[in-house]
Structure 1
């Protein structure tokens, strides 16, 4: 099916991104101008909550938090699935002047406690877990349960138990925060490796405005929350940008993505777009023959992919299936999510294999000496602009290594073309050194993913006494394809340099993924490299 060339454009040069200053006033314009418009669709009954109702719930939470003795600039944790409680807690705490740290509900109690204590959170707001998920673990800080009860008539009330007194004298990194800060997000990784990124209200406002401007999000738009809100992808791109632009977000009944209900949810929301990681796009593509309702689904203006590389073959297949442009984007926690994106047609060409152009930031590709690389030459991607965080909390050494003169050194390898489109080629820390030849596992994975019958691939280093490292690959084959390791290797030999071709291929049923949907490389190495 052909991709509509102008499906996403409202009118030349007429779009204006929302005027906000941060989390606290995110809803204000919509409450003034469109108070009865739907902001959220929640619960199994798909109750519509208006902007006025959502703001009232947030104000109620803010008032209750204000009576606990917490001061503006204090840090507070938030553990909750993708449901109304998360949104109300986040916006309510922001209106109370608190700094919110969303955390993964699936973390064990020891890791949740470690992160809260490293931050110096004075209390934890606790919402419901996702359906069928294990109960959220107990932690060593005061915990305040929060619930939202919504009726089919669109009325709602909040229950917040703040009986346990907040910690008075906290340790950790909270002393580095102020009431200019809005959020603290944890980077992906284990407890020992996860870093705390403070994001100001100005960072949040710049990110939301940039996302809205890129996709021209407005009151006529709606989406389904696919990605978890405790990471930037789901938080900024799906939730906050939609609400700031006056659109609507459907929160799945289970509190998380469900392939079984996804298209029903899209119809219920009259969704115009959605954003997800490649792993979820692959699931939707694999299920399209039995699950995609085709003409019964409202036409999509665009589909967005971010947080992990999307191979070109999948991108084209998604566009053919869904009849909408698939826009690849690139972002990270330290840049308040989005850095680049492919533009809406006809705002610019779609370049499959790229992650588009900078969106509200300056971008450089530099060599090992910090000099700007020529067009088309690979180097490290550096980012500068209003969305870039000031550093890491409690980690001056890593801040000095990753932030240089207000430039974020991303650790990602890439190259810019003549039109300013960025193509990513891998992560510096992931490079495999095979006898002096530096190999990007992401590049090899992209080739493997293009092999007919291959659903997903992970490439990793195998220790080797002669070369130092060799190339290994774990490959997931689509059911019924009957493809074997030798066929995959033949495909690779025709498309890769000889030193890049995997020395070992393991056919596996599934690959491990992180909570935000990216490939869990540490788990892959532990499982398949020995």
Structure 2
């Protein structure tokens, strides 16, 4: 996309005025650039430090490196080369970390994929990135192997059981043993048990930090999924920046709340742990009761994940302040956070959830709240601040004509810096549009106040136009979250012959309470302008979510349009 020279110069001028740097104090200082890869972070970790905890299983950094070398040697013998893509179709298990490290040891590119995907979904991603190797779970082997066979020989495909590496066998979250015998092909456990498997040379040390380390596919809710190319330099810089901000160190224990196949889990769990020789605690996937038990067993010190996960934990009757007392910090990002949720969590557990903002293309967070102190709420919109930009990025706000905006003027957030992706895999047109002028166009609408705090209004595509008035779903959702009986809320626009669009809300109830739609409508009318109030409220047992816990408005909007 070509931009007028005037726009580019205006953006440069706007980027020079950064009032948020001073309030962050020492954390505002940039992390010194270094020419290391993400594999270097792991290899430089203390080999005797605890690397992974998986239920009652443990792996040190030394043991993890030994096993990763064995897997790398196997794939190298099967023909995997530098630059090849390796698909990891796995939940949060030690196999995921092994697959990542082995791929990097060979100079390859990791492609994490949601293990809930069916054959058609896997096929679209495999056709796009043409992986040369595969590691998946045994109960997904039939689907994944069937898709992969058109891209790689059977010798490059391995399977792993999520029951390996532990003896706890928690039936609340781990899948049962497959009804059929073990899949054909090579198992990861069998490979690691083989004394004949030689250690692989660590080629990743000679790879350039500018090489692509991981392809993270966006959700694709508005079109075909796009593979965001994150380089080793992206991963290293943002891991070191965020680890410093979160206060992580060699004694930290990070709980893997987010899926490792998502940017939050990949960067802020896995790579951050490598960056400081910390321990990462895994439990296959999110299950609230299992998570609470793990908090007591492992005493984690840091956690970050979707706000819906915190809501689910808060909705557990057995949850107490004791479950959260080991944490030095609790952060949430990926979606706007209703102030009422933060207040309710702090009132019950005595701990504050700190806000963040980021996206896959930004290598996780571009904005973070300070570790301590009050996070402001904008009095006009009721939005909780998403924090201030990290030292790794510049941020500006522009209007629809591309002109920079001043304080409290909402517009699209543009971000640039060394943490921003290299582009989308095999999509030059989409890359040029997203990175026009050297800035990542986020598609999110927000604003900055006079002190440098940023606020997110909503996604540009989610804006509702009712009788010519702009309605941002997040503002209405925040009001619904303030109702004591509402657990989760989502607001979408529905076609309307007279207004063009009308506001419709979907909610789920907290703790078995009964919600009266009419009462919720009255609750909104008392707190919002008439054009912002829902014309209907639908009570559901649960709201639809992505694999990372984000409520999917698009699913609800699509259902309304089909009625």
| TM-score bucket of the superposed structures, by smaller chain | 0.7 to 0.9
Residue 16 of structure 1: how far off its partner (Å): 8.2
Q: In structure 1, what is the equivalent of residue 12 of structure 2?
A: none
Equivalent-residue separation in structure 2 for 1:37 and 1:199 (angstroms): 27
The CA distance in 1 between the partners of 2:422 and 2:538, in whole Å, is 42
Picking from 13, 27, 31, the partner of 2:42 is 27
User: 1:138 maps to which residue?
Assistant: 146
Say whether residues 1:94 and 2:104 are aligned partners: yes
Residues 18 and 245, structure 1, Cα contact 8 Å, conserved in 2: no
Deviation of 1:457 (Å): 1.2
2:90 equivalent in structure 1: 80
Question: Helix, strand or coil: the match of 1:26?
Answer: helix
Q: Distance in 2 between the 1:226 and 1:311 partners?
A: 20
Cα drift, residue 417 of structure 1: 1.4
Question: 1:350 deviation in Å?
Answer: 2.6
Deviations 1:160-183 (A, max 9, x none): 49xxxxxxxxxxxxxxx9981101
Query: What residue in structure 1 maps to residue 248 of structure 2?
Result: 217
CA distances 1:390-439 after superposition (whole Å, capped 9, x unpaired): 22122222222221122000000001112222110001111111122111
Asked whether the equivalents of residues 111 and 191 of structure 1 are also in contact (C-alpha less than 8 Å), the reply is no
| SS of 2:400 mapped into structure 1 | coil
1:477 paired residue number: 509
| Cα distance, 1:268 vs structure 2 | 2.1
Q: Answer whether contact 1:17 1:209 (CA < 8 A) is retained.
A: no
- 1:145-294 alignment to 2 at 5 Å? 145-147=158-160, 150=165, 159-160=190-191, 180-190=211-221, 192-252=223-283, 255-287=284-316, 289-292=317-320, 294=321
Secondary structure, counterpart of 2:335 in structure 1: coil
Offset of residue 296 of structure 1: 6.6
CA distance in 1, matches of 2:82, 2:65: 20
Q: Please give the alpha-carbon distance, in whole angstroms, between the structure 2 residues aligned to 1:240 and 1:343.
A: 21
Task: Determine if contact 1:17/1:213 at 8 Å carries over to the other structure.
Answer: no
Q: 1:95 to 1:237 in 2, by over 3 A?
A: same
The match for 2:493 among 461, 468, 474 is 461
CA distance in 2 between partners of 1:12 and 1:237 (Å)? 17
Q: Deviations over 1:33-90 (max 9, x none)?
A: x322111012x4x122111111111222222222222221122211111101000011
Does the 8 Å CA contact 2:333/2:356 hold for their aligned counterparts?
Answer: yes
Count of aligned pairs between the two proteins: 489
Matches of 1:456 and 1:18, distance apart in 2:
41
Q: Give the Cα separation in 2 of the matches to 1:14 and 1:444.
A: 37
1:168 maps to which residue?
none
Q: Distance in 2 between matches of 1:188 and 1:210?
A: 26
Query: How many angstroms apart in 2 are the aligned matches of 1:440 and 1:20?
Result: 43
Partner of 2:467: 435
Residue 220 of structure 1: how far off its partner (Å): 1.9
Cα contact 1:72–1:178 (8 A) shared by 2: no
Indicate whether 1:302 and 2:329 are aligned.
yes
Would you say the 8 A contact 1:15–1:216 is kept in 2?
no
Distance 1:363 1:297 in 2: 33
CA distance in 1, matches of 2:323, 2:513: 30
Which residue of the partner structure matches residue 113 of structure 2?
A: 103
RMSD: 2.8
- Cα contact 1:20–1:26 (8 A) shared by 2: no
Distance in 2, matches of 1:198 and 1:266, equals: 34
- Do the aligned residues in 1 keep the contact of 2:75 with 2:133 (CA within 8 Å)? no
Which structure has the highest helix share of the two?
2
Instruction: Report which stretch shifted further, 296-305 or 121-130.
Output: 121-130
Deviation track 1:486-511 (CA, whole Å, cap 9, x = no partner) reads: 21111111221211111111122111
2:331 match: secondary structure: strand
Contact persistence 1:17–1:216 (CA under 8 A): no
Gaps of 5+ in 1: 1-8, 162-176
Match of 2:535 among 473, 493, 503: 503
Larger deviation, residues 81-90 vs 210-219: 210-219
Write out per-residue CA displacement over residues 354-391 of structure 1, whole angstroms, 9 at most, x where no aligned residue: 11011121111111122211111111000001111122
- Match of 2:505, SS state, is strand
Q: Corresponding residue for 2:136? A: 126
Change (3 A) 1:129 1:220: farther
Q: How has the CA–CA distance of structure 1 residues 285 and 277 changed in structure 2, closer, same or farther, with 3 Å as cutoff? A: same
Q: After TM superposition, give the deviation of residue 323 of structure 1 in Å.
A: 2.6
* Corresponding residue of 1:37: 49
**Residue 394 of structure 1 aligns with which residue?**
426
Judged with a 3 Å threshold, the aligned counterparts in structure 2 of structure 1 residues 151 and 275 are, in CA distance, closer, same or farther, namely: closer
